[in-house]
Chains A and B, each alone.
Chain A
């Protein structure tokens, strides 16, 4: 067959398997997979810990929405990067810039809050009451989301597997932090930056490390 190329039988078999693809099918599949996994994590959080008891008091505060905005922007950056890196020729420069920007702004807010408080309060501002559990729980809750994200990416056509894995990890970390924030009542900027940030960074690195192993096609 060396001079003929793929047999016409082979091409016939591909043609006969042709089904229409709706526009945006790739994005829909990614979002569906993420949605299912987030639902699982959310159910676990609500079942184990419920919504934070002071939610009514927290809703109108700037601190609450800053925290939510931080993790939502990181999750959106991750999802945007997944959309791009699911395509073989995709690069994710804009989403990466967005994620670094969000982290930089959060770092700035954290430093500003520390600077406006006396040093004897710094420890409390950074550690809160739950620093020992917060990052671990975010990472734990992120694991099912990471699994879903990597598996759905594997069905797409990522060619930069490490970067695509990092995108999946960032998405999982961001979404998990969003879910966890429903029941976490920590609201100082240094706490959010350090512990939420660390957990999301760890998931990003884990995703990057797993990328090549899991997504090769």
Chain B
């Protein structure tokens, strides 16, 4: 993290003197960081791209507000966060987001990916009928056996299998549709 900060900061300082090579490298590295940052916080891929681009434009136009004696990551993170909040406000979509974070969040390894995946799964599960959801949860998430679930639910083992098979197909279709959007 420290190394990334030092590297980005020196690239930024070189960029401010007009060094195009340094600036190109900086923009490439920063855009990768921004995409990760926004992807961890937003479901919509299009918004991630828009915000990344908008933040790069803000970095470009407002680069005179970066003072070289200050940490670059904190500066960039504050812009990225501002753009994110502005986007969420304008979409009036106040999701329960964790926004009280430190500048290091920008450089953090993607720990939230797993949590996001879990969130995506819950959202997809919510879209299928209750009975199918309960079966999927019992067998595929909690890892119980077909026999166990069959005994508990009163369904025959083959009925359980068929229902789970259908539920997974339905989830697959929904997932594909979401990805396209």
Main secondary structure of the interface of A (DSSP, over half): loop
Considering the complex, give the chain B residue whose CB is closest to the CB of A18.
B23
Task: Tell me whether A11 and B58 are in contact in the complex, defined as CB-CB below 8 angstroms, given that A86-B65, A87-B65, A89-B78 are known contacts.
Answer: no
Q: Is the CB of A121 closer than 8 A to any CB of chain B?
A: no
Query: What CA separation (Å) do A47 and B32 show in the bound complex?
Result: 57
List residues of chain A with CB within 8 A of the CB of B78: 87-89, 157, 159
Query: Contact between A2 and B82 (Cβ–Cβ < 8 Å)?
Result: no
Give per-residue flags for B28-58: 1 if the beta carbon is below 8 A from chain A beta carbons, else 0. 1001100100000000011011001100111
List residues of chain B with CB within 8 A of the CB of A157: 58, 62, 65, 78-79, 82
Main secondary structure of the interface of B (DSSP, over half): helix
- Size range of the chain A interface in the assembly: 20 to 34
Of listed A6, A26, A216, A217, residue having the most chain B CB within 10 A:
A6
Count of chain B residues near A, Cβ 8 A = 39
Query: What CA separation (Å) do A60 and B79 show in the bound complex?
Result: 49
List residues of chain A with CB within 8 A of the CB of B56: 6, 10-11, 14
Contacts of B58-72 to chain A: CB distance below 8 A: 58, 60, 62-68, 70
Query: Contact between A23 and B70 (Cβ–Cβ < 8 Å)?
Result: no
Query: Contact between B64 and A26 (Cβ–Cβ < 8 Å)?
Result: yes
Q: Is the CB of B163 closer than 8 A to any CB of chain A?
A: no
Task: Tell me whether A10 and B53 are in contact in the complex, defined as CB-CB below 8 angstroms, given that A17-B60, A26-B67, A157-B65 are known contacts.
Answer: yes
Q: Is the CB of B166 closer than 8 A to any CB of chain A?
A: no
Partner of B65, one of A1, A2, A156: A156
Q: Is the CB of A56 closer than 8 A to any CB of chain B?
A: no
Query: Contact between A89 and B75 (Cβ–Cβ < 8 Å)?
Result: yes
Nearest 8 Cβ contacts at the A-B interface: A88-B78, A20-B18, A89-B78, A157-B62, A159-B82, A25-B64, A157-B65, A89-B74
